[in-house]
Structure 1
Amino acid sequence: MKMLGIRKVGLSLTLEKGLPLGSGLGSSAASAAAAAVAINEIFGGRLTEEELVLAGLKSEEKVSGYHADNVAPAIMGGFILIRSYEPLELLRLKFPAETELFFVLVSPEFEAPTKKMREALPGEIGMPHHIWNCSQAGALVAAVLSGDLAGLGKALSSDKIVEPRRAPLIPGMEAVKRAAIEAGAFGCTISGAGPTAVAVTDSESHGEAIGKRMVEAFREEGKLAASAVVRQLDRVGARLVSSIAR
């Protein structure tokens, strides 16, 4: 509201959210994005997308730190590359319109606090792993721009810095990843800080079959109950669905 220049109006927001807390799915960013877009719409939609991202950043900072990894794509949709924060510079990566992309999200009944998962990360990174992960990041961008699902999945699955440290902290995660690939997923990794596992595929039906295998792997190898959902890439981002005139 400060960015809109509104100082003397109070608002009360009620949020109905379908994301579990602490799941690695960016639930705090979803809240920040929804609030920013809703308030902007109430007062005439004067803020640009980048300004909305900045508002979301400020809101989420108190909960999970100052980063736009989740809030930028939540507001803008699709794939967003964060080039810099000072100044904030966001690049939209255009995924081909004719290519369908689905995400299989499997969330086990297990708590993986972000603080604990961050503490598991290495304090220093060796040059070979640094070079490798930078190469995978470049390959991921190239795959997104070309609509290469196999390349996208391969890059997604090839982390040598974060996933090797976090996967052992989530019971069954390594088996879940294997199950996803064996079931036909193009790639699989940990979503955010976890414990949700995310796999990529090209159709909803394939996603449902992959999700079933991943749930079974969590149950059999990790001794954890889990649930799976399949969601298509959202190319639009947060938007007004409906409004009620008062």
Structure 2
Amino acid sequence: MEPEPIFSSVKSFAPATIANVGPGSKQINCAIDGSIGDYVSVHIDPHVSPGTSAIAAINGVAPKGYYPTAKSVAEKVMRMLGIESAGLSLSIEKGLPPSWSIESKASTDAAVVVAVNELFGGKLSVSELIQAGVYRDGSMEKEDPNYPVIKGNLVTATMGGFVMIHDYQPFEINPLEFPADKELFFIFVNPEIEIGNSYRPEMASMKEIQKSDAKTKPPTEYHGQRAPLIPGFEVMRETAEGKAMRCRIIKNRVSDDDDYLEKSMEESKSTIPGLAKVMKVALEEGAFGCKLVGPKVIVAVTDDIEKGKEIGNQMVEAFLNHGGGLKASAMVHKLDRVGARVISRE
């Protein structure tokens, strides 16, 4: 039988994610706690055709070419639940600061599947919600060259923590268990410099977004080994049945790799003034790794929040001293272990 809606509206949050965290031929993603993610509000709407959904608004800043797939994701969950008599409206709130390129489309989709499921009583499992997001519409995969990477980021945003992507065809993943007694903090540094990316104003309309060229970005499918964010990241395989794969960080691994900074700079192809010095300062201050993860966003990693704040301050100062007086801001966020979750119900 078709489930009745338990609530009239549900608001959810899903964290942003970072890809290529660890070394090796398998892609390893992680989720970031805090405000740098997406919020989605889902409402029962009598003005929307039964069994379908509509995007009512996109609040915040959406990048050029941003085309939300939330509608098809919501309808996939509705089909899996057997919803035919109710229509839904979706309001998306982008939580990423302007010009940050850590994956956000996947965060939106992860928030959607959790909210729609909760609206009708939370009948689907996490595994089923992931399937809804990953296999929302076969045509999407053919049209979007970034879709394979979005798959991995969607799983990470839904589950939280670290996730290893074994393969995209067929899709194979492994959640990685990070020690519960340890914390991990990510220092995001954003220099005040224009790099050619343009962004939509707040309350972007769907008509404006659909006019954008969603194919301007080059394909970002994972093709084997890249410079990792954390070279000391290690995955330990468990042989006993039922045990998750575990992971840890070897703190001295960066110093063992003399080419780490050079490889990271070569891969980024960035022209940001003083970037190499800023990354070197982070490593000298004890960061486990440091890398450019967006057009102009540098991320360093540590296991202590006070050390993270100091590393951020030193990186900002390095931009001033070695980037021609370039101003920058820094913020510290910890590893998200929860993934997509419900914020409120009405």
TM bracket, shorter-chain basis = 0.7 to 0.9
Partner of 1:216: 317
Q: Does 1:147 align with 2:248?
A: yes
* d(CA) in 1 for partners of 2:311, 2:108: 29
Structure having the larger proportion of residues in helix: 1
Cα offset, 1:181, TM superposition: 1.2
Q: Distance in 1 between matches of 2:233 and 2:114?
A: 29
More strand by share: 2
Please tell me whether Structure 1 or Structure 2 has the larger radius of gyration of its CA atoms: 2
Which amino acid in structure 1 is aligned with residue 147 of structure 2?
G
Unaligned stretches of 5+ in structure 1? none
Identity, in percent, stands at: 38
- SS of 1:70's equivalent in the other structure is helix
Task: Specify which of 60, 63, 66 is matched with residue 148 of structure 2.
Answer: 66
SS across alignment from 1:24: coil
Question: In 1, distance between residues paired with 2:118 and 2:338?
Answer: 16
Q: Where does residue 4 of structure 1 map in the other structure?
A: 78
Structure 2 unaligned segments of length 5 or more: list them: 1-74, 198-213, 237-244
| Maintained 8 Å contact 1:140/1:151 | no
The equivalent position to 2:120 in structure 1, one of 32, 39, 43, is 43
Q: What secondary structure does 2:282 align onto? A: helix
Aligned-partner SS, 2:108: helix
Equivalence for 2:330:
228
Matched, 1:27 2:109: no
Alpha-carbon distance in structure 2 between the residues aligned to 1:136 and 1:198: 8
Question: What is the one-letter code of the residue matched to 2:119?
Answer: I
Q: Counterparts of 1:44-193 in structure 2 under 5 Å?
A: 44-57=121-134, 58=136, 62=144, 64-67=146-149, 68-109=151-192, 110-111=194-195, 113=197, 118=218, 140-142=233-235, 145-150=246-251, 158=260, 163-191=265-293, 193=294
The answer on whether the counterparts of 2:233 and 2:248 sit within 8 Å (CA) in structure 1 is: no
| TM-score, length of structure 2 as denominator length | 0.56
Residues 112, 36 of structure 1: alpha-carbon distance in 2 compared, 3 angstrom cutoff: farther
Q: 2:309 touches 2:332 (CA, 8 Å); kept in 1?
A: yes
Rounded to whole Å, the distance in 2 between the matches of 1:185 and 1:55 is 37
Distance across 2 between alignment mates of 1:152 and 1:169: 27
What is the aligned length? 234
**Structure 2 letter corresponding to 1:238:** A
Q: Which moved more, 1:65-74 or 1:153-162?
A: 153-162
Q: Is the 8 A contact 1:77 1:238 kept in 2?
A: yes
Is the partner of 1:19 in helix, strand or coil? Answer: coil
Indicate conservation of the 8 Å contact 1:139/1:155, yes or no: no
Deviation, structure 1 residue 16: 3.0
Q: 2-side partners of 1:46 and 1:153: how far apart?
A: 45
Q: Higher mean Cα deviation, 18-27 or 138-147?
A: 138-147
**How far apart are residue 239 of structure 1 and its match?**
0.8
- Residue deviations 1:12-55 (CA, integer Å, cap 9, x gap): 22233331244122222222222222122112223332333344
Q: CA RMSD in A?
A: 3.8
